[in-house]
């Protein structure tokens, strides 16, 4: 008994000694870890040989970047590329960053997805679109989501069946563009077209109060995705958080009330039930389903809407393009029976329309880059991209390289014919394993939009000088006001 008590007392003393030691050792270990980490980073920076600067502590070059990315000419990346060459380092949004702006490195980065690089979107994307959104996902969860999207909503036979509905949604808006002298704000209109189509494809949701409310909440949400994640009622991010809450509430209500559950959301949750480890909480599957829907509504609509609005602007500024486009669509109709609708296969044959889409995306695309992280040290020529860096393959530099695209600042869809059929490098829909799964759907929507635009309207007058701002996304300062002249039928 006495010896047991003695042992216990000795043990307690030992615990106390260890406890006192902890008080000292934990901060020391932390300090040593931080020092070691800083030393490793410095070593990596030195050995990388990358030109460029990190700017100020913590904030890096973020402020200069935000200020200088709005302009079409001589933006942050252009200026740095001129000074340092096509591969340079910086520090943005608290991360060590490498920009790549030459074709070969850009190609290499997108091609090595999942091996040397992995998709790594800013935290604000995960916070606002949900941690299981496609862009932020990696590994098995990403592969499952992508397989699911490709084999369900992006299945060509299904999309072919839905073309008539998609066309009706385009026509519904374009028919409201009267030529009684009223001003039409194209940006608002194309957002509605693209949102209605995406909500129909993803949720089977028809235009109405629910879809209108959801759509309106997407814009503060999107603004927040490129802001500093400071959640206060008056910050851009704070407003985005509120918008997300409303979107989720409305989606939940809609999903609760839908009569059929055999749909994109329902079948995804069922798939997760089969594929996630047994015992995974039901709440997790529900959350993953909601994140799929919220991210598809984002990825599918603002991108396509922006392409539509810029196409209206560029075609409006180029009468020769309008004439050639109309010729293509008149020829298409001449091959069809009266009343026969434009279908999926027609859209594939409309070469000039597709060249307009490509050229519009080359000039003005929401995705000027994609976000990657290096998984290992990567040797590029004489430099090394150190492991763990944010890596931005800057598509816009390739699309504006005069050696690839002569006279790059001119909208010229004829350039693709003139290139003698040789394929010009194009990253409008990304590339590699993450190539946009909605690419064919987006092209089909845009073809139908262009078809009815040139068949219904003789011309349109661009009112006011819209200024294009390029950061965080290309936007027109006045939402592209136009006045249309209908065609006489």
Give the separation between CA 189 and CA 35, rounded to whole angstroms. 55
Position 303 contacts ligand HEM (CB under 6 A): yes
Position 367 contacts ligand HEM (CB under 6 A): yes
The number of C-alpha atoms within 13 Å of 76 and in the hemisphere containing its C-beta is: 24
C-beta closer to ligand HEM: residue 386 or 428: 428
Using CB under 6 A, pick the residue from 229, 393, 413, 437 that binds ligand HEM. Answer: 437
Position 122 contacts ligand HEM (CB under 6 A): no
Position 370 contacts ligand HEM (CB under 6 A): yes
Position 149 contacts ligand HEM (CB under 6 A): yes
Position 430 contacts ligand HEM (CB under 6 A): yes
Give the separation between CA 185 and CA 247, rounded to whole angstroms. 25
Give the separation between CA 201 and CA 153, rounded to whole angstroms. 7
Q: Which pairing describes strands 184-185 and 372-374: parallel, antiparallel, or unpaired?
A: unpaired
> Is 436 part of any known ligand binding site?
yes
Contacting range for ligand HEM; rule: CB under 6 A; set: 60-68, 252-260, 404-412, 435-443: 435-443
Q: How far is the CB of 339 from ligand HEM (least distance, A)?
A: 28
Position 255 contacts ligand HEM (CB under 6 A): no
Position 307 contacts ligand HEM (CB under 6 A): yes
Give the separation between CA 25 and CA 133, rounded to whole angstroms. 41
Position 299 contacts ligand HEM (CB under 6 A): yes
C-beta closer to ligand HEM: residue 389 or 484: 389
Using CB under 6 A, pick the residue from 251, 380, 442, 454 that binds ligand HEM. Answer: 442
Contacting range for ligand HEM; rule: CB under 6 A; set: 58-66, 84-92, 276-284, 433-441: 433-441
Position 75 contacts ligand HEM (CB under 6 A): no
**Using CB atoms, what's the residue nearest to ligand HEM?**
438
Using CB under 6 A, pick the residue from 198, 227, 358, 412 that binds ligand HEM. Answer: 198
Give the separation between CA 217 and CA 128, rounded to whole angstroms. 12
Position 474 contacts ligand HEM (CB under 6 A): no
Q: Interface with ligand HEM by CB under 6 A: which residues?
A: 119, 134-135, 146, 149, 198, 296, 299-300, 303-304, 307, 361, 365, 367, 370, 428-430, 434, 436-438, 441-442
- Residues of each annotated binding site: 436
């Amino acid at each position: 008994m006495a010896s047991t008590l003695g042992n216990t007392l000795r043990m307690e003393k030992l615990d106390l000694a260890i406890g006192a030691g902890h008080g000292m050792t934990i901060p020391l270990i932390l300090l040593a870890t931080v020092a070691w980490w800083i030393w490793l980073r410095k070593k990596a920076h030195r050995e990388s040989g990358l030109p460029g600067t990190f700017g100020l502590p913590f904030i890096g070059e973020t402020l200069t970047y935000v200020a200088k990315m709005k302009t079409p000419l001589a933006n942050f990346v252009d200026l740095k590329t001129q000074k340092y060459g096509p591969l340079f380092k910086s520090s943005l949004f608290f991360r060590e960053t490498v920009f790549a702006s030459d074709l070969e490195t850009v190609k290499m980065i997108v091609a090595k997805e999942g091996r040397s690089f992995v998709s790594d979107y800013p935290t604000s994307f995960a916070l606002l679109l949900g941690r299981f959104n496609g862009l932020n996902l990696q590994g098995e969860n990403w592969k499952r989501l992508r397989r699911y999207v490709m084999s369900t909503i992006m299945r060509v036979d299904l999309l072919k069946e839905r073309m008539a509905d998609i066309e009706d949604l385009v026509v519904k808006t374009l028919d409201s563009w009267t030529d009684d002298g009223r001003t039409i704000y194209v940006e608002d209109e194309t957002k509605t077209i693209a949102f209605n189509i995406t909500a129909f494809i993803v949720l089977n949701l028809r235009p109405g109060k629910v879809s209108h409310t959801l759509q309106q909440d997407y814009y503060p949400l999107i603004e927040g995705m490129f802001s500093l994640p400071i959640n206060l009622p008056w910050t851009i991010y704070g407003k985005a958080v509120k918008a997300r809450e409303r979107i989720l509430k409305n989606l939940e209500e809609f999903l609760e009330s839908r009569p059929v559950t055999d749909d994109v959301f329902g079948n995804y949750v069922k798939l997760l039930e089969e594929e996630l480890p047994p015992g995974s909480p039901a709440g997790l599957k529900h959350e993953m389903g909601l994140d799929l829907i919220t991210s598809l509504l984002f990825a599918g609509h603002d991108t396509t809407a922006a392409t539509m609005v810029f196409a209206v602007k560029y075609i409006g500024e180029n009468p020769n393009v309008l004439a050639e486009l109309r010729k293509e669509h008149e020829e298409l109709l001449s091959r069809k029976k009266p009343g026969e609708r434009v279908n999926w296969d027609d859209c594939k044959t409309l070469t000039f329309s597709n060249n307009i889409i490509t050229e519009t995306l080359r000039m003005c695309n929401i995705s000027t880059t994609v976000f990657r992280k290096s998984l290992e040290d990567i040797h590029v020529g004489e430099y090394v991209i150190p492991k763990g860096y944010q890596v931005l393959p800057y598509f816009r530099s390739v699309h504006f390289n005069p050696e690839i695209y002569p006279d790059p600042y001119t909208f010229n869809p004829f350039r693709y014919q003139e290139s003698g059929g040789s394929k010009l490098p194009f990253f409008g829909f990304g590339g590699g394993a993450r190539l946009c799964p909605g690419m064919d759907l987006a092209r089909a929507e845009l073809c139908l939009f262009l078809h009815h635009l040139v068949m219904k309207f003789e011309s349109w007058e661009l009112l006011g000088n819209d200024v294009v701002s390029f950061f965080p996304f290309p936007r027109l300062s006045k939402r592209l006001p136009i006045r249309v002249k209908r065609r006489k039928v």
